[in-house]
Amino acid sequence: MSKSGRITRSLSKFQALTTTETWVSTSESRPSKRIKWSEEASDSFHNTQSLVKADDGVAPGTPPNRRGKRKVTDAISDRTQFLPRLDIPWKIGAHVSAAGGVEKSVINAATIGANAFALFLKSQRKWTSPPLSDHSITEFKKNMKEYGYESRHVIPHGSYLINLGNPDLQKREKSYECFLDDLQRCEALGLEMYNFHPGSTVGAATLEDSITFISGSINRAHRETRNVTVLLENMAGAGNIIGGDFAHLAKIIAKIDDKKRVGVCFDTCHAFAAGCDIRTKEGWNSTMDEFSDTIGLPYLRAFHLNDSMCGLNSRKDRHQSIGQGELGLLAFQHIVTDKRTRDIPMVLETPSFEMPKEVWGVEISVLGSLCTSTGKETDLSVEATEGNQLEILEERIRVAVKAAEAKNGKSKGRKLTAKRKPGDKKRKRPVDEDDASDTEEGSLCSHD
């Protein structure tokens, strides 16, 4: 029998954890303003479209239709439609939608069989947002208890606009207010961690000065809040962005007064883009050794699990579905079977193509299948028998992604490029200097 035949035959054995029902019902809502979609406009955000909804219920990566409307997604509350929850020591989930209220994010996580999740607490692309309602706060806490989630397995993600490293005092203060508001929302919801991108020098400050600005802002926010732990995210290392080197994060942490309230969220795509070759077990262990020596393993508090569209040391932040990019599934096997990563929230920031149950549900179940219910490391490797199990599992994800692309189109999960008239020159998007991103880097993640 041919190799493709063996994979197709064996693939059927692994289909039990997903269904073909649609994850959500849909309605429509007019966006606050029209957005001109172009390669430049999308490049300063992450190339991971159709991931979660903003607080207005609209996917930031979803372009308006011809009537200027975009699709809104609602959570399912029928438990019979939920995928089986992972019963393993490794806490795996996704960055889910909070459309319609943060309380919906809990149900959305349960729907895809996640035992951890991330969310936005407000619009990630606005400086100010309406405060959380008493109803949303009460329902969020109720749902957390009802669906069996612990706050230590939830990772709220900060606004993309925040840049605590900006040397301009007025602009840094604007970022700080947005940052502090996020932390206060965490406290109101009973959440204990908050993940954000460290920031950028914007080419107008030294690295050391910006690190001092960032740590100073965190210390100030700690004094104005009670118990939320701030997680610094490692970055891809492009341009003026801070965090592409573990040493950057270590220097920030060294300046934090209350070190019990600071940690790191390790992004696999960012690490790979910054030069950490985690594709082999040796490479993974070497990276963890470097992390331990430079920062310290106790500071490792969360993961973003993302494959990469671009190669090692590319300095480009381009997320890809698990096992479908340059990292491959074997890289993630090392992570989700490592005893050091047990009980740490690990969330996908991969494209869902507006079909989270059908796509993320498969990715989560595949990652879960690499673990055992006893928590012991598996012996699943490239040399595995039975038709090469890693290839079979990668094929499961590939089939799910292709089906979602066929139904909703690649534009729901990939970068959109507007057509230019013949002779038109490529123009850069005007950028607000308050934005933490440097447009040439394309370093900011987009969760739609």
Question: Tokens representing 78?
Answer: 């029928």
Q: Is 135 a catalytic residue?
A: no
Which is catalytic among the residues 6, 39, 125, 279? Answer: 125
Q: For residues 86 and 113, give the distance between their C-alpha atoms in angstroms, rounded to a whole number.
A: 6
Which is catalytic among the residues 319, 396, 414, 447? Answer: 319
Q: Is 447 a catalytic residue?
A: no
Q: Is 147 a catalytic residue?
A: no
Which is catalytic among the residues 267, 363, 391, 438? Answer: 267
Q: For residues 440 and 428, give the distance between their C-alpha atoms in angstroms, rounded to a whole number.
A: 9
Phi/psi zone of residue 188: left (φ > 0), alpha (ψ -120 to 50 degrees), beta? alpha
Which is catalytic among the residues 172, 222, 270, 334? Answer: 270
Which is catalytic among the residues 46, 70, 172, 197? Answer: 197
Q: Is 334 a catalytic residue?
A: no
Give the residue among 95, 84, 93, 87 at the shortest CA–CA distance from 61.
Answer: 95
Which is catalytic among the residues 74, 349, 363, 391? Answer: 349
Going 319 to 57 to 193 to 334, the CA torsion angle's sign is negative
Q: Is 424 a catalytic residue?
A: no
Q: For residues 182 and 279, give the distance between their C-alpha atoms in angstroms, rounded to a whole number.
A: 35
Question: Tokens representing 52?
Answer: 């979660």
Q: Is 55 a catalytic residue?
A: no
Which is catalytic among the residues 40, 56, 192, 317? Answer: 317
Q: Is 217 exposed, middle or buried (0-12, 13-18, 19+ CB in 10 A)?
A: buried
Which is catalytic among the residues 157, 185, 315, 396? Answer: 157
Which is catalytic among the residues 43, 70, 160, 354? Answer: 160
Q: Is 277 a catalytic residue?
A: no
Residues in contact with 129: Cβ distance below 8 Å, sequence separation at least 6, in sequence order: 55, 122, 123, 181
Q: Is 304 a catalytic residue?
A: yes
Contact 333, 380 (CB under 8 A): yes
SS3 179: helix
Q: Is 248 a catalytic residue?
A: no
Q: Is 270 a catalytic residue?
A: yes
Q: Is 441 a catalytic residue?
A: no
Neighbours of 27 (CB within 10 A): 12
Catalytic residues: 125, 157, 160, 197, 233, 267, 270, 304, 317, 319, 349
